[in-house]
Chains A and B, each alone.
Chain A
């Protein structure tokens, strides 16, 4: 059974720091991996999607990497800003449609 773990569960950093969020999964047979952002009281917004054949994806200050064989992904956020404060969730797609989510990392960026 696929399990997704995110470390750390919570993180507080001063503005301007570069930071790394970690995601690990137990079954390497995945179709893709997505990183989502969730603001309090809101739904999920997709940030980056990495196909199983890809190693990384970049969007602005965000970079996500995927090492399928070791069951790991990282989300790198450069020059963090208070507006980055949110919960970040990773999810792996198993089979043709189902996503399995981690429990998330709650990020707080202090001004």
Chain B
């Protein structure tokens, strides 16, 4: 596609619900990133994929967070048993294998009530 596409754009979840956030990167982009951005803060790294391999998941805040990219294109970030502190914008970004510039989607805004 023309850009990084994320869905849903907005999600309100009740505490304890599971949520799934989808990212469709730019076609042909090997690298895919997930970032979490709290209100008034800069994005914080969650995880990185190269094709279907998850090479770094050091930023995932707890074992309730899980990300996958089974076929090396679309990725899903899943949050189990959501908590209020999970409320944030979840940004997905992609780049080429040698690319320096990363391209961000518009984010999925998650509010846990």
Residue positions of A touching B, CB distance < 8 A: 4, 31-32, 34, 36, 41-46, 49, 51, 89, 91, 93, 97-104
Give the dominant DSSP class at B's interface: strand
A-B interface pairs (CB < 8 A), number: 56
SS of A interface (majority): strand
- Beta-carbon contact of B100 and A44 below 8 Å: no
Alpha-carbon separation in the docked complex, A89 to B109 (Å): 19
We find that the number of chain B residues with CB closer than 8 angstroms to chain A is: 25
B31 and A97 contact, CB distance less than 8 A: yes
User: Once the chains are docked, how many angstroms separate the CA of A32 from the CA of B95?
Assistant: 15
Shortest CB–CB separation between residue A51 and chain B, in angstroms?
7
Say whether B42 contacts A101, CB under 8 Å: yes
Please report B residues at the A interface, Cβ cutoff 8 Å. Answer: 4, 31, 33, 35, 40-45, 48, 50, 55-56, 91, 93, 100-107, 109
Contact B101 A34 (CB under 8 A): yes
Pick the contact of A45: B31, B48, B91, B104 (CB < 8 A).
B104
- Sample (21) of A-B pairs whose CB atoms are under 8 Å apart: A4-B42, A31-B100, A34-B101, A34-B102, A43-B91, A43-B104, A43-B107, A44-B91, A46-B102, A89-B42, A91-B42, A97-B56, A98-B45, A98-B48, A98-B56, A101-B43, A101-B44, A102-B42, A103-B40, A103-B42, A104-B41
Complex: how many Å from CA A43 to CA B50? 21
